[in-house]
Structure 1
Amino acid sequence: MLTKKRIKQTMVFFMASILIACEDFVEVDAPDYKIIREDVFNSEETARSAMTGIYNELFRSSFSNGTQYSVTVLGALSGNLLMNIRETNLVRMEFQQHEISAENTSNLFLWTSAYNMIYNTNAFLEGLQSSETIGSEVKNQLQGEAKFVRAFTYFYLVNLYGEVPLVLTTDYEQNQLASRTHSEEIYTQIILDLEDAIENLTDENEDIRTKVNRYTAMALLSRVHLYNRQWQKAEELSSQVISNNSYILQEELSDVFLANSQEAIWQISPIGSGATTTHTNEGNFFIIDPIFSFLASVQLNENFIANFNDDDLRLSNWISYNESLNAYFPFKYKIWNSNEQPSTEYSMVLRLAEQFLIRAESRLMQDDHKGAIDDINTIRNRAGLAPLSNTDNLETEILLDEIMEQRKKEFFTEWGHRWLDLKRTDRYENIWDNNPFWEDTDLHYPIPAEERIKNPNLTQNPGY
């Protein structure tokens, strides 16, 4: 959670981001980093630029930036897909071994960066709501974008930690001692935010994949309903996204993670870092450069590699090998280091392939085996695999295994999908039979000890 000092620091940083985003629109005579909220929300141009500041912050924020502190990396370690190259990195080894201490700094960065993002969106929403100069159409659009980002952030908090404080205001007195909120209430707020986003957002920005639109909110809400076993709702929303011709599965796997890929429903641009480099953090962290291999931190689990069919195009396109380290590594992003303009790769957050597998699972749970197989085959065909036959009368459990297998091979090292899938489907028990460290209480990360010192109302998850 946020202390009073951190709240002030966060607001300064947030407003500094807004200042950078707004520099083309306003002249600021005030001292550095001092910008009054009313100034930000006194015009539509500066308000839009403030929202751009939030998008940019997603590329810098630990939980969402694709670095060693992100959901992508830590979730892949927890999900048994990544392994540390050097076991001397005790902070990351705790995630790999499921022995995370409450003092783990990566866990602290993940938690605090997520709550900083929530505070930023709350501050933006309050400023937007109090504005008397922004038209209702623009206000509704920007409100939908900010509520989407808040819902997106809470989705990961509730799935990684379970019960977490539900903070919907910037009021320090109210927030400093906030207790944890039941997961169902967190999900209720996520759904409310996403439904509000769907109502207020337009279909615009379909060709600019770094901006949230109505279908972006639909895509995330379909996932939320899947996690909550609301199969019909998940199917309906995923079908709406799939039917939108603006989103197309890329035939060439090497094109999937390019900037403004047609498969992308939402991406985060590295331009948001404000640096001269234009590569993604995922590419920079995962790729083992042949010359600078000594800088490598993680590799793919060999058991995961061995489970691929030799004909699977994802094996040849999204995985590479470093001979000097005898290590396989994720190669979805092809650029390790670059300052070329414009950026040719963006960090993928939501993409169309997930919607097909969401719909496949939802259809299967409603006994629509044919529909489920059709969606599974869409993913298998793109991967170069033989289609499943509708005439084989495959049992539900066999098809569910196939869906989980396709999710694992499709979304490895993307936003912790495998770790969250294992948890939500209760498939984790057999994964760590030989792991002496595993206990069922490891399903949730610990509440950071530092946060509990600052807020005595924060209880700890069992097992920590």
Structure 2
Amino acid sequence: MKSKIYTKTLLAIMACYALWSCEEFLDVEAPNHKIVSETVFNNDETAISTMTGIYNELFRASYAGGGRETSIHVLAGLAADELKNLNPNNLNLLEFEENTIQPNNSRNLSIWSSTYNIIYMTNSILEGITISESLTKEVKSNLEGEAKFIRAFTYFYLVNLYGEVPLILTTDYNENSLASANSTDEIYDQITQDLTKAIDLLKVTYREDDRTHINKSAAEALLARVHLFLGNWVEAERLSSNVIAQTDTYELKDDLNQVFLANSKEAIWQISPIGGSGGILTYTNEGTTFIFHPVLASLTKVALTTEIVETFEEQDKRLLNWVGYHEDTDNYYPFKYKDRSSMGNITEYSMVLRLAEQYLIRAEARLMQNNLEGAISDLDKIRARAGLELISNTDPNIRKDELSMLIWEEKRKEFFTEWGHRWLNLKRTERALSVLSEKTSGWDSMDVLFPIPAEELMKNPNLNQNPGY
């Protein structure tokens, strides 16, 4: 009991201090938590519990949040062409939909603040295990790998949403309070270092056989994506191949309604609603955000755009299984998650990384190395699962540029409303202008970056606003 009290105390201090470090940018004195920290990292059980606390916090964190209104799922979906705002009076969402985000937008601030909260917590873990002389080597290695993965994961979204941002690697009050932004190259270097180290430290197996914990394959999967974004095709192919090769652990689920179940074999990393909600509510935020309320439809704030629905062929199983229709409002909605409001009956976890992405990462990496046959093979894995004709049968001699477009479109249909895939890929492939200028008359090329929150600029004079804001 005592160890749990210490762990909860440390997590509370970490959370409060993290909030100060972001929303007040450390303009107050740092709390003295040295004694509590030393106690928590004095044995394996309490140290592991502290890491579990960060996983739970990810369910509550605005930027992750399992798909709630403040999440990247929703906000990046609006910024791209996946989601539409159903309430014209909700200016926070309307600005994302129209790509006119103002620096004082509260939803934009919530992304920024919550990401740095999580980064502070991971830094606290890393510092705690570094000074600990009591943890076993195995636990110490795994905790370091998990913390570095989550830090890298969070910075991946920060750098892709905002560009140059402060690279905070300590919990030092004075150092962080006036941190300047680092270049995108520096941030990507740190992401790569963290993930490479995590791969070396982590086990192939999941702790407690639960995919809400990070393992080696999760780190390889994210690093494969990072190398794809950096144009390092050989590394992207190698790492995605490593994950795909783990056939005893991962597989594409033929039944699309099983993909997002808790501990699905397609899942590489998931977030559970149980710890984040205190164990009472057992539905994901994706479920309650996207599925229309059965009585008060006006409580549902977003729906799928006509454009995304019309990209699917009629026989596409993803259209049939992952897209719902609300007759009263004549709106389509994401239906990947089926549980909107259960209590005490966990069936689904929020999906973060899954195997299908690794096939499409490898397809693109192979294509860019002129291995069209290999790219077609990977693409056809996803098309076959969706019930579509195989490219190897219909167009085996397809041109490289045509195949590239097919891979991008397959990513659009496979990952709609999942972690901003569409938004990030439009930017990465330099198609944001051509695609989104048709959606928004006021589109500007500088809209590919979100604004640095005005509140942060006021607190830290060393931060500069992104161009165009």
The residue aligned with 2:232 is: 230
Moved more, 203-212 or 261-270: 203-212
Corresponding residue for 1:258? 261
Change (3 A) 1:45 1:383: same
In the other structure, the counterpart of 2:218 is: 216
The CA distance in 2 between the partners of 1:293 and 1:116, in whole Å, is 33
Deviations 1:76-129 (A, max 9, x none): 111110001111111000000000000000000000000000000001110110
Deviations 1:386-432 (A, max 9, x none): 10026632111100100011000000000000000000000112213
Matched, 1:279 2:283: yes
The residue aligned with 2:167 is: 166
Q: What is the alpha-carbon distance in structure 1 between the residues aligned to residue 433 and residue 177 of structure 2?
A: 37
Structure 1: 4+ residue segments shifted above 6 A: none
1:147 — aligned with what? Answer: 148
Cα displacement (A) at 1:376: 0.4
Q: Distance in 2 between matches of 1:171 and 1:13?
A: 14
Which segments of 5 or more consecutive residues in structure 2 lack a partner in the other structure? 1-8, 18-32
SS in 2 for 1:257: coil
Paired residue for 1:310, among 314, 326, 349?
A: 314
Within 5 Å, give how 1:375-454 maps onto structure 2: 375-389=378-392, 392-434=396-438, 435-454=440-459
2 CA distance for matches of 1:45 and 1:70? 31
1:183 pairs with 2:187: no
Query: Take 2:275 and 2:13, find their aligned partners in 1: how far apart are those partners?
Result: 14
2:332 aligned partner: 328
Residue 27 of structure 1 corresponds to which residue in structure 2? none
Aligned residues of 2:290 and 2:302 also touching (Cα < 8 A): yes
Residues of 1 paired with 2:390 and 2:118: CA distance? 42
With structure 2 as the length reference, what TM-score do the two structures score? 0.91
TM-score (norm 1): 0.92
Cα shift at 1:16: 8.7
2:104 aligned residue: 103
Tell me the SS of whatever aligns to 2:432: coil
1:462 is displaced (CA, Å) by 0.1
Give the Cα–Cα distance (whole angstroms) in 2 for the partners of residues 15 and 118 of structure 1: 11
Cα distance between partner residues in 2 of 1:322 and 1:184: 45
Q: 2:122·2:148 contact (CA, 8 Å) conserved in 1?
A: yes
SS in 2 for 1:431: helix
Are the aligned partners of 1:14 and 1:53 in contact in 2 as well (CA < 8 Å)?
no
**Structure 1: runs of 5+ lacking an equivalent:** 1-8, 18-32
Taking the aligned partners of 1:129 and 1:429, their CA distance within structure 2 comes to 46
The amino acid that maps onto 2:304 is L
State the shift of 1:294 in Å. Answer: 2.0
Preserved contact between residue 256 and residue 318 of structure 2 (Cα < 8 Å): yes
Residues 233 and 34 (structure 1), Cα distance of their counterparts in 2 relative to 1, 3 Å cut: closer
Answer whether contact 1:287 1:336 (CA < 8 A) is retained. Answer: yes
* Contact 2:220/2:243, CA 8 A, preserved across alignment: yes
> Separation in 1 of the partners of 2:373 and 2:299?
48
Return the offset for 1:12. 3.4
- What is the aligned length? 440
Any idea what SS the aligned residue of 2:102 has?
coil
How far apart in 2 are the matches of 1:356 and 1:178? 39
Q: Secondary structure of 1:430's match?
A: helix
Amino acid at match of 1:214: K
Contact 2:415–2:421 (CA under 8 A) maintained in structure 1: yes
Aligned to 1:30: none
Is the 1:248–1:352 Cα contact (8 Å) retained in structure 2? yes
In structure 1, the residue matched to 2:54 is 54
Q: Distance in 1 between matches of 2:375 and 2:423?
A: 23
Residues 188, 346 of structure 1: CA spacing in aligned structure 2 closer, same or farther, 3 A cutoff?
A: same
34-43 vs 83-92, greater mean Cα deviation: 34-43
Deviates more, 1:374-383 or 1:281-290: 281-290
Q: Percent identity over the alignment?
A: 53
The answer to which of 288-297 and 180-189 deviates more is 288-297
* Correspondent of 1:294 among 289, 293, 298: 298
Aligned 8 A contact 1:60 1:272 in 2? no
Letter in 2 for 1:283: G
Q: Secondary structure at the match of 2:151?
A: helix
